[in-house]
Amino acid sequence: MEIKLLNNNEIDIKHWDAVVRASPNARVYAESWYLDIVYPDWQGLVWGDYHYVMPVSMASKFGIRYIFQPVYAQQQGIFPPATPEITAQFVSKLKELVRFFEISMNSLNVSINDEPEITEGVNYVLSLNNSYEQIFAGYSSHAKRYIRKAQRENDLLAGIPAHEFLSFKEKFSGEVYKNKHREALRKIVTKSVAAQRGIIYGAYTGPNELCAAAFFMFEPRRLTYLNSVSSPLGKEKRAMFAIIDRFIRDYANSPFLLDFEGSNIDGIARFFGGFGAQPEHYQKLKYNKLPFPLSLIKK
Protein backbone atom coordinates (compact mmCIF):
# COMPACT_ATOMS: atom_id res chain seq x y z
CA MET A 1 0.00 0.00 0.00
CA GLU A 2 0.99 3.63 -0.40
CA ILE A 3 2.79 5.38 2.44
CA LYS A 4 1.63 8.96 2.84
CA LEU A 5 3.48 11.78 4.57
CA LEU A 6 0.95 13.89 6.47
CA ASN A 7 1.36 17.08 8.47
CA ASN A 8 0.01 16.70 11.99
CA ASN A 9 -3.02 18.87 11.20
CA GLU A 10 -3.93 16.39 8.43
CA ILE A 11 -3.72 13.34 10.66
CA ASP A 12 -6.73 11.65 12.26
CA ILE A 13 -5.30 12.10 15.74
CA LYS A 14 -7.75 9.78 17.50
CA HIS A 15 -6.98 7.04 15.01
CA TRP A 16 -3.23 7.66 15.24
CA ASP A 17 -3.19 7.53 19.05
CA ALA A 18 -5.40 4.44 19.14
CA VAL A 19 -2.99 2.61 16.83
CA VAL A 20 0.06 3.61 18.90
CA ARG A 21 -1.47 2.79 22.28
CA ALA A 22 -2.84 -0.59 21.13
CA SER A 23 0.49 -1.66 19.64
CA PRO A 24 2.59 -4.27 21.45
CA ASN A 25 5.51 -1.86 21.03
CA ALA A 26 3.52 1.16 22.32
CA ARG A 27 5.69 4.12 23.33
CA VAL A 28 4.53 7.45 24.68
CA TYR A 29 7.16 9.06 22.43
CA ALA A 30 4.83 8.46 19.44
CA GLU A 31 1.57 9.72 20.97
CA SER A 32 0.27 12.95 19.46
CA TRP A 33 0.23 15.03 22.67
CA TYR A 34 3.85 14.06 23.38
CA LEU A 35 4.96 14.80 19.82
CA ASP A 36 3.25 18.20 20.04
CA ILE A 37 5.63 19.00 22.90
CA VAL A 38 8.94 17.57 21.71
CA TYR A 39 8.54 18.81 18.12
CA PRO A 40 5.38 20.82 17.36
CA ASP A 41 5.99 20.61 13.58
CA TRP A 42 6.00 16.81 13.57
CA GLN A 43 4.64 14.84 10.64
CA GLY A 44 3.59 11.24 10.23
CA LEU A 45 4.07 8.46 7.73
CA VAL A 46 0.83 6.48 7.39
CA TRP A 47 0.65 3.09 5.65
CA GLY A 48 -2.80 2.30 4.30
CA ASP A 49 -5.75 3.19 6.54
CA TYR A 50 -3.54 3.68 9.63
CA HIS A 51 -2.43 0.06 9.53
CA TYR A 52 1.07 1.30 10.40
CA VAL A 53 2.22 4.75 11.48
CA MET A 54 5.62 6.38 12.04
CA PRO A 55 6.28 9.84 13.51
CA VAL A 56 8.71 12.04 11.58
CA SER A 57 10.58 15.12 12.82
CA MET A 58 11.78 16.98 9.75
CA ALA A 59 13.69 20.25 9.74
CA SER A 60 15.73 22.29 7.25
CA LYS A 61 19.19 23.82 7.38
CA PHE A 62 21.06 25.55 4.55
CA GLY A 63 18.03 24.74 2.43
CA ILE A 64 18.48 20.99 2.96
CA ARG A 65 15.84 18.94 4.73
CA TYR A 66 16.80 16.31 7.28
CA ILE A 67 15.06 14.04 9.81
CA PHE A 68 16.21 13.80 13.41
CA GLN A 69 15.35 12.22 16.75
CA PRO A 70 13.70 14.70 19.17
CA VAL A 71 14.90 15.17 22.73
CA TYR A 72 13.08 13.06 25.37
CA ALA A 73 12.05 10.55 22.69
CA GLN A 74 14.38 7.59 23.02
CA GLN A 75 12.55 5.16 20.71
CA GLN A 76 10.06 5.92 17.96
CA GLY A 77 9.89 3.98 14.71
CA ILE A 78 6.92 2.05 13.28
CA PHE A 79 3.74 1.15 15.16
CA PRO A 80 2.62 -1.63 15.39
CA PRO A 81 5.69 -3.81 14.65
CA ALA A 82 6.06 -4.24 10.89
CA THR A 83 7.49 -7.03 8.79
CA PRO A 84 10.99 -6.47 7.38
CA GLU A 85 9.41 -5.87 3.98
CA ILE A 86 7.07 -3.13 5.25
CA THR A 87 9.90 -1.66 7.34
CA ALA A 88 11.97 -1.44 4.16
CA GLN A 89 9.13 0.51 2.52
CA PHE A 90 9.19 3.04 5.36
CA VAL A 91 12.97 3.38 5.15
CA SER A 92 12.76 3.87 1.38
CA LYS A 93 10.15 6.58 1.93
CA LEU A 94 12.47 8.39 4.33
CA LYS A 95 15.23 8.29 1.72
CA GLU A 96 12.86 9.80 -0.83
CA LEU A 97 12.10 12.68 1.54
CA VAL A 98 15.57 13.71 2.71
CA ARG A 99 19.28 13.31 2.08
CA PHE A 100 20.10 12.86 5.75
CA PHE A 101 18.36 11.17 8.66
CA GLU A 102 19.51 9.91 12.02
CA ILE A 103 16.70 8.24 13.96
CA SER A 104 15.99 5.58 16.56
CA MET A 105 13.52 2.80 15.89
CA ASN A 106 12.09 0.72 18.75
CA SER A 107 12.90 -2.68 20.16
CA LEU A 108 10.30 -4.49 18.00
CA ASN A 109 11.36 -2.83 14.74
CA VAL A 110 14.02 -4.55 12.64
CA SER A 111 15.46 -3.10 9.46
CA ILE A 112 17.16 -5.40 6.96
CA ASN A 113 17.97 -2.56 4.57
CA ASP A 114 21.75 -2.38 4.29
CA GLU A 115 22.04 1.18 2.99
CA PRO A 116 21.33 3.20 6.15
CA GLU A 117 24.10 2.74 8.67
CA ILE A 118 22.67 0.64 11.51
CA THR A 119 23.99 0.84 15.06
CA GLU A 120 22.55 -0.61 18.23
CA GLY A 121 21.09 1.31 21.12
CA VAL A 122 20.72 -0.34 24.52
CA ASN A 123 17.83 0.25 26.86
CA TYR A 124 17.28 -1.46 30.23
CA VAL A 125 13.95 -2.86 31.40
CA LEU A 126 12.76 -4.67 34.51
CA SER A 127 9.62 -6.78 34.73
CA LEU A 128 7.43 -5.73 37.67
CA ASN A 129 5.25 -8.82 37.33
CA ASN A 130 6.69 -10.37 40.50
CA SER A 131 6.54 -9.65 44.20
CA TYR A 132 8.83 -6.98 45.59
CA GLU A 133 10.72 -9.64 47.53
CA GLN A 134 11.40 -11.59 44.32
CA ILE A 135 12.55 -8.49 42.49
CA PHE A 136 14.74 -7.34 45.40
CA ALA A 137 16.43 -10.76 45.43
CA GLY A 138 17.65 -10.01 41.91
CA TYR A 139 19.39 -6.76 42.93
CA SER A 140 23.17 -6.72 42.98
CA SER A 141 24.92 -6.76 46.35
CA HIS A 142 26.19 -3.20 45.93
CA ALA A 143 22.69 -1.94 45.02
CA LYS A 144 21.28 -3.53 48.16
CA ARG A 145 24.02 -1.94 50.25
CA TYR A 146 23.47 1.54 48.78
CA ILE A 147 19.69 1.23 49.16
CA ARG A 148 20.00 0.44 52.86
CA LYS A 149 22.37 3.37 53.34
CA ALA A 150 20.08 5.72 51.43
CA GLN A 151 16.99 4.58 53.33
CA ARG A 152 18.69 5.44 56.62
CA GLU A 153 19.75 8.90 55.45
CA ASN A 154 16.79 10.06 53.33
CA ASP A 155 13.05 10.45 53.73
CA LEU A 156 11.13 9.44 50.61
CA LEU A 157 7.94 10.97 49.29
CA ALA A 158 5.82 9.95 46.29
CA GLY A 159 3.84 12.58 44.43
CA ILE A 160 5.89 15.73 44.98
CA PRO A 161 4.64 18.76 42.99
CA ALA A 162 5.82 19.33 39.44
CA HIS A 163 7.00 22.86 40.20
CA GLU A 164 9.24 21.61 43.00
CA PHE A 165 10.86 19.03 40.73
CA LEU A 166 11.38 21.55 37.92
CA SER A 167 12.89 24.17 40.24
CA PHE A 168 15.25 21.54 41.64
CA LYS A 169 16.13 20.41 38.12
CA GLU A 170 16.90 23.99 37.14
CA LYS A 171 19.22 24.42 40.10
CA PHE A 172 21.28 21.27 39.59
CA SER A 173 21.36 20.80 35.81
CA GLY A 174 23.87 22.01 33.26
CA GLU A 175 23.65 24.70 30.64
CA VAL A 176 22.57 22.34 27.85
CA TYR A 177 19.40 21.55 29.76
CA LYS A 178 18.74 25.19 30.59
CA ASN A 179 19.31 26.41 27.04
CA LYS A 180 17.76 23.64 24.96
CA HIS A 181 15.71 21.13 26.90
CA ARG A 182 14.07 23.00 29.77
CA GLU A 183 10.81 23.97 28.08
CA ALA A 184 10.11 20.53 26.63
CA LEU A 185 10.64 18.82 29.99
CA ARG A 186 8.52 21.41 31.78
CA LYS A 187 5.59 20.71 29.45
CA ILE A 188 6.00 16.93 29.62
CA VAL A 189 6.14 16.89 33.42
CA THR A 190 3.33 19.36 34.08
CA LYS A 191 0.97 17.82 31.53
CA SER A 192 1.70 14.25 32.62
CA VAL A 193 1.23 14.96 36.31
CA ALA A 194 -1.98 16.94 35.69
CA ALA A 195 -3.39 14.07 33.61
CA GLN A 196 -2.29 11.48 36.20
CA ARG A 197 0.03 9.93 33.65
CA GLY A 198 3.15 10.73 35.62
CA ILE A 199 4.44 10.86 39.17
CA ILE A 200 7.49 12.39 40.85
CA TYR A 201 9.35 10.77 43.74
CA GLY A 202 11.63 12.81 45.96
CA ALA A 203 14.26 12.14 48.61
CA TYR A 204 14.72 14.60 51.47
CA THR A 205 17.55 14.93 53.94
CA GLY A 206 15.36 17.00 56.27
CA PRO A 207 12.17 19.06 56.20
CA ASN A 208 11.91 20.69 52.76
CA GLU A 209 15.54 19.75 51.93
CA LEU A 210 15.14 17.93 48.61
CA CYS A 211 18.34 16.18 47.51
CA ALA A 212 17.13 13.96 44.64
CA ALA A 213 14.02 13.48 42.54
CA ALA A 214 12.82 11.27 39.68
CA PHE A 215 9.95 11.62 37.24
CA PHE A 216 8.17 8.47 36.03
CA MET A 217 5.62 8.25 33.21
CA PHE A 218 2.75 5.78 32.94
CA GLU A 219 2.40 4.10 29.55
CA PRO A 220 0.11 1.29 28.36
CA ARG A 221 2.68 -1.41 29.06
CA ARG A 222 5.56 0.47 30.65
CA LEU A 223 6.44 2.73 33.54
CA THR A 224 9.23 4.92 32.23
CA TYR A 225 11.97 6.50 34.33
CA LEU A 226 12.04 9.56 32.11
CA ASN A 227 14.12 12.07 34.04
CA SER A 228 15.94 12.54 37.34
CA VAL A 229 18.26 14.91 39.13
CA SER A 230 20.38 14.85 42.29
CA SER A 231 22.19 17.51 44.23
CA PRO A 232 25.80 16.82 45.27
CA LEU A 233 24.45 15.80 48.69
CA GLY A 234 21.92 13.49 47.05
CA LYS A 235 24.69 11.80 45.11
CA GLU A 236 26.75 11.43 48.27
CA LYS A 237 23.81 9.85 50.09
CA ARG A 238 22.97 7.55 47.12
CA ALA A 239 19.42 8.89 47.24
CA MET A 240 18.49 7.74 43.74
CA PHE A 241 18.97 4.12 44.79
CA ALA A 242 16.32 4.57 47.46
CA ILE A 243 13.94 6.39 45.09
CA ILE A 244 14.02 3.67 42.45
CA ASP A 245 13.71 0.93 45.04
CA ARG A 246 10.67 2.68 46.54
CA PHE A 247 9.07 2.99 43.11
CA ILE A 248 9.68 -0.72 42.44
CA ARG A 249 8.17 -1.60 45.83
CA ASP A 250 5.08 0.52 45.05
CA TYR A 251 4.49 -1.00 41.60
CA ALA A 252 5.60 -4.59 42.12
CA ASN A 253 3.05 -7.28 41.21
CA SER A 254 1.85 -5.22 38.25
CA PRO A 255 1.83 -6.18 34.54
CA PHE A 256 4.33 -3.50 33.55
CA LEU A 257 7.93 -3.16 32.51
CA LEU A 258 9.96 -0.53 34.31
CA ASP A 259 11.73 1.19 31.43
CA PHE A 260 14.97 2.82 32.58
CA GLU A 261 15.54 4.44 29.16
CA GLY A 262 18.91 2.69 29.24
CA SER A 263 22.32 3.81 28.18
CA ASN A 264 25.39 2.69 26.25
CA ILE A 265 27.50 4.33 28.98
CA ASP A 266 28.97 1.59 31.18
CA GLY A 267 28.49 3.34 34.54
CA ILE A 268 24.83 4.12 33.90
CA ALA A 269 24.22 0.63 32.53
CA ARG A 270 25.69 -0.87 35.73
CA PHE A 271 23.41 1.36 37.82
CA PHE A 272 20.30 0.07 36.04
CA GLY A 273 21.61 -3.48 36.00
CA GLY A 274 22.03 -3.30 39.76
CA PHE A 275 18.23 -3.44 40.04
CA GLY A 276 18.07 -6.60 37.94
CA ALA A 277 17.15 -4.72 34.75
CA GLN A 278 17.93 -6.53 31.51
CA PRO A 279 19.16 -5.01 28.23
CA GLU A 280 16.65 -4.29 25.49
CA HIS A 281 18.20 -3.52 22.10
CA TYR A 282 16.91 -1.24 19.39
CA GLN A 283 18.26 -0.02 16.07
CA LYS A 284 19.51 3.44 15.22
CA LEU A 285 19.45 4.29 11.53
CA LYS A 286 21.71 6.86 9.87
CA TYR A 287 21.52 7.82 6.21
CA ASN A 288 23.86 10.41 4.72
CA LYS A 289 23.65 11.51 1.11
CA LEU A 290 24.49 15.14 1.78
CA PRO A 291 26.56 16.96 -0.82
CA PHE A 292 30.24 17.58 -0.16
CA PRO A 293 31.41 19.15 2.16
CA LEU A 294 28.24 18.90 4.30
CA SER A 295 28.55 15.11 4.19
CA LEU A 296 31.81 15.44 6.14
CA ILE A 297 30.24 17.59 8.85
CA LYS A 298 27.61 14.96 9.64
CA LYS A 299 30.04 12.04 9.85
pLDDT digits (tens, 9 = 90+) for 239-288: 999 999 999 999 999 999 999 997 767 788 899 999 999 999 999 999 99
- The reply to whether 67 and 115 lie within a common domain is yes
- The reply to whether 133 and 251 lie within a common domain is yes
Residue range(s) defining the domain that contains residue 221 = 129-255
Q: Which residue has the higher pLDDT, 110 or 231?
A: 231
- Mode of pairing for the β-strands spanning 198-204 and 58-61: unpaired
- The reply to whether 92 and 185 lie within a common domain is no
End-to-end CA, the chain:
34
What pTM, to 2 d.p., does this model score? 0.93
- Does position 36 have pLDDT exceeding 90, yes or no? yes
- Does position 298 have pLDDT exceeding 60, yes or no? no
Answer whether residue 175 is part of any domain: yes
- Does position 56 have pLDDT exceeding 70, yes or no? yes
DSSP summary character for residue 88: H
Structure confidence at residue 296 (pLDDT): 58
Nearest residue to 33 via CA among 221, 256, 187, 165: 187
Structure confidence at residue 170 (pLDDT): 93
Answer whether residue 212 is part of any domain: yes
Mean residue pLDDT of the chain comes to 93
Answer whether residue 262 is part of any domain: no
CATH, residue 191: 3.40.630.30
- The reply to whether 219 and 135 lie within a common domain is yes
Amino acid at 26: A
- The reply to whether 291 and 239 lie within a common domain is no
Answer whether residue 263 is part of any domain: no
Domain count, the chain: 2
| Calpha distance 236→299 (Å, rounded) | 39
Percent of the chain with pLDDT over 90: 84
Structure confidence at residue 299 (pLDDT): 46
Answer whether residue 272 is part of any domain: no
Amino acid at 235: K
Q: Which residue has the higher pLDDT, 181 or 194?
A: 194
Strands (E) located in 159-298 = 198-204, 210-218, 222-230, 257-259, 278-288
CB atoms within 10 A of CB 25: 20
Answer whether residue 275 is part of any domain: no
| Calpha distance 72→140 (Å, rounded) | 28
In angstroms, the Cα distances linking 99 to 42, 95, 146, 294 are 18, 6, 48, 11
Structure confidence at residue 135 (pLDDT): 98
- The reply to whether 171 and 114 lie within a common domain is no
- The reply to whether 149 and 197 lie within a common domain is yes
What is the tens place of the pLDDT at every residue in 182-212?
999 999 999 999 999 999 999 999 878 999 9
